Amino acid sequence: MTLFSLQTLALNPLTAFGLILALGVLGGQMAKRIAHLPSVTGYILTGLIIGPSGLGLIQHDLLSEASLFSDLALGLALFELGRRVDLSWLNRERTLLLTSLITSALLFAGLFGLLIAFQLHYAPAALLAAVGMSSSAPILLEITRESHAEGQVTERLLATAGLNGLFSLVAFGLALSYSHFVSASGVESVFLRPSWLVLGSAALGLIAGLIAIRLNAWLSGRQREAQWVLLFAMIALVVGLAEQLAMMPAMALLVFGLATRNLRSGDTLTDPTLLARSSFFFVAFFVATGAQLVPSELMRLWPLAVAFVLLRMALAMAPWALAARSNGLTVKRGALLGLALTPMGSGTQTLMLLVPSTLLASQSSMLMPATLAVLCILELIGPLVSRFALKHAGETHE
């Protein structure tokens, strides 16, 4: 602990939140005004500088004190991303569904192969490849919001990010099942636990969606403020319940959003200002994300991390470029859409906590370090790459 560590002040969660928020806003503004970087990059850099790997002003226990707020931010973002998955559109526009499916499959296969080549065992390779299929909901939403991105690339980007998120979590559940199998766990761990994680979480999201639609209709559109508070409350509830029931909150939230978008009368449950109103949660989330980055792992495993990042970008761009015209885009805009998927799924570290400890110990001590090394690059370059892609696709507001 440094001499100036704020731990000595024994900050409570609110003080920690305030501190993270204030420093984050300053960092975000500096990044934006001085370096013309996205604010998100500024928040993450602030976290990295003040976090345990930087100046050490904020340590892990302080981060966990403020995790309530960043968990909520992640929940809000995943809910919103779930709302971008419009099943009636996918039914009409099968090309979009197919392109997303192919992109996910390619990402999994390619990353899995790469990790095997880097001497990871099958189980951890499958787990990390599954996570590599998804894109970060908070980063994509914040970048599109900040740059006022609108248009076909943005719409398809967010829809495909929602779908890839779902595919990724299912793949992760299967990989987890396999991990339990290879670590010689019992039937319960091999089948029941992953099923509970995937199907149980999806069921929780679906039930939450049904309840939210009912309550929302009862409040009616004349009570917009009450509807907004209710929606926020439901999101907080789903995050909390999923954690309490040892489920995957990400899956529950994505399905919750998807249900409200697609079930009858769910279209009334909408608030375009949801993310803007919650911006303080997002600042806290990004600062906390930055604080959790571990550059030392990147230094150690940089060849793997760089190869992972480059391959992932190429694998996302290729199918979108090839299927661009069928998606109503030019080849260039298709490729840029694939590039915009670069930020990797937030909450990856939380997911990795679900991995059986026996596996971590025995088969791959490299899983967490590799994950952290990859995240270190993607969290920092992801927002920049996405903004670049959307700008050159002509979707941002000049």
Partner 1 sequence: MSGPTERNETMLEFTTSQPLTLGVELELMILNRRDYNLTRGSDDLLELINRRQHGYDIKPEITQGMIEIGTAVHSKTSEMLDELTAIRTLLVNAAEKLNLGLAGGGSHPFQHWRDQRIYPKERYRLVSELYGYLAKQFTVYGQHIHIGCPNGDAAVRLTHYLSRYIPHFIALSASSPFHQGVDTLFQTSRLTSVNAFPLSGSMPLVHSWDEFNDYFAKMAHLGIVESMKDFYWDIRPKPEYGTVEIRICDTPLSVDTPVLLAAYAQMLARRCFEEGWNDIRQEHYLTYSYNRFQACRFGYDAVLVDALEARQTSLLEDMLETLNALLPHAQALGAEREHAQLRERVLKRNIDSQWLRGIHESSGSLPEVVRRQSERWMYGEIGRD
Query: Is residue 357 within the footprint of partner 1 (CB under 8 A)?
Result: no
* Site pattern 127..166 for partner 1 (x: CB under 8 A): ---------------------x-xxx--x-----------
Alpha helix (H) ranges present in 147-223? 152-182, 187, 193-195, 201-219
Query: Is residue 394 within the footprint of partner 1 (CB under 8 A)?
Result: yes
Query: Is residue 264 within the footprint of partner 1 (CB under 8 A)?
Result: no
Q: Which residues contact 311 (CB under 8 A, 6 or more apart)?
A: 110, 111, 114
Six token digits for residue 44: 């993450």
Stretch that binds partner 1, among 215-223, 309-317, 359-367, 383-391 (CB under 8 A): 215-223
In the complex, minimum distance from the CB of residue 342 to partner 1, in angstroms, rounded to a whole number? 23
Q: Which of 1, 10, 221, 225 binds partner 1 (CB under 8 A)?
A: 221
Query: Is residue 222 within the footprint of partner 1 (CB under 8 A)?
Result: yes
Rg (CA), the chain: 20
Pairwise CA distance, residues 39 & 24, whole Å: 9
| Number of residues lying near partner 1 (CB under 8 A) | 26
Query: Is residue 94 within the footprint of partner 1 (CB under 8 A)?
Result: no
Q: Which CB atom, from 192 or from 322, has the smaller least distance to partner 1?
A: 322
Query: Is residue 225 within the footprint of partner 1 (CB under 8 A)?
Result: no
Question: Of 218, 169, 222, 213, whose CA–CA distance to 194 is shortest?
Answer: 169
Q: Which residues contact 199 (CB under 8 A, 6 or more apart)?
A: none
Six token digits for residue 92: 């009409």
Question: Of 107, 118, 166, whose CA–CA distance to 366 is shortest?
Answer: 118
Query: Is residue 387 within the footprint of partner 1 (CB under 8 A)?
Result: no
Pairwise CA distance, residues 97 & 344, whole Å: 20
Is residue 241 classed exposed, middle or buried when 0-12, 13-18 and 19+ CB atoms within 10 A define those classes?
middle
Q: Which of 13, 18, 89, 178 binds partner 1 (CB under 8 A)?
A: 89
In the complex, minimum distance from the CB of residue 379 to partner 1, in angstroms, rounded to a whole number? 28
Q: Which of 5, 7, 56, 93 binds partner 1 (CB under 8 A)?
A: 93
Q: Which stretches of the chain bind partner 1, using CB under 8 A?
A: 83-84, 86, 89, 92-93, 148, 150-152, 155, 220-223, 261, 267-268, 270-272, 328, 330, 394-395, 397
